Amino acid sequence: MAVELERRAPKPEAQRLLELIRSRRSVGKVAQDPPPRELIEQVLEAAVTAPNHHLTQPWRFFVIAGSARERLGEAMAAAESRAHPDSPQAALDRVRAKPLRAPVIIAVAVQPSDDPRALEIEEVEAGAAAVQNMLLAAHALGLAAMWRTGDAAYADEVKAFLGLDTSAHIIGFIYLGYAAITPPDPPRRSAAELTQWLGWGEKA
């Protein structure tokens, strides 16, 4: 019995982890000084510990900094021009400038496995789990992060820029840097409002 109770006891770091989860915020404005590579590598290492069925590890990561952000912007603008041929130049310029909002962007993609046991939706879900790990790791390391998607995440031009097959899924672009603003706490519904307890309290 003593062993069972010990196994059930919260780990000492549990409250710190829960506080990190509660305090994480999306930060939409960051400074232009880039974080050290060592911190980015820690964020990526957190990503690959995410759960995924059959250990397919379908995620692919692309760290985009410096002039590569401009090349990403060109791919985004090309996709926008194809999808909306009548877009004015000012609108294309705004799309082109989006990657310049942060010194580092990590594009997160999933290349679905050819393992016949792997369901494509579960591969995508694994990618989303990796992103959440990245956001929490960035927060723990003192970095600001924002998970963005938009039309560019689904555009073949952007997939081609990253060297991805059209069958791949871009889960999102993680904009990383040091916070230039303090974001407000967003309104959130409580877990109690969104949860049903089915069979809870019944005897085994």
Residue 26, annotated as binding a ligand = yes
**Rama region for 125: left / alpha / beta (φ>0; ψ in -120 to 50; rest):** alpha
Instruction: Count Cα neighbours of 78 within 13 Å in the Cβ-side half-sphere.
Output: 13
Residue 148, annotated as binding a ligand = yes
Whether the Cβ atoms of residue 40 and residue 104 lie closer than 8 Å to each other: yes
Q: How far apart are CA 149 and CA 166, in angstroms?
A: 17
Q: How would you classify the pairing of strands 104-110 and 169-177? A: antiparallel
198 three-class SS: coil
Residue 53, annotated as binding a ligand = yes
Give the 3-state DSSP-derived string for 106-171, with helices as H, strands as E and coil as C. EEEEECCCCCCCCCHHHHHHHHHHHHHHHHHHHHHCCCEEEEECCHHHHCHHHHHHCCCCCCCEEE
Cα–Cα distances in angstroms (integers) from residue 145 to residues 24, 69, 160, 165, in the given order: 9, 16, 25, 27
Residues at the annotated binding site? Answer: 24-26, 53, 147-149
Residues at the annotated binding site for FMN? Answer: 24-26, 53, 147-149
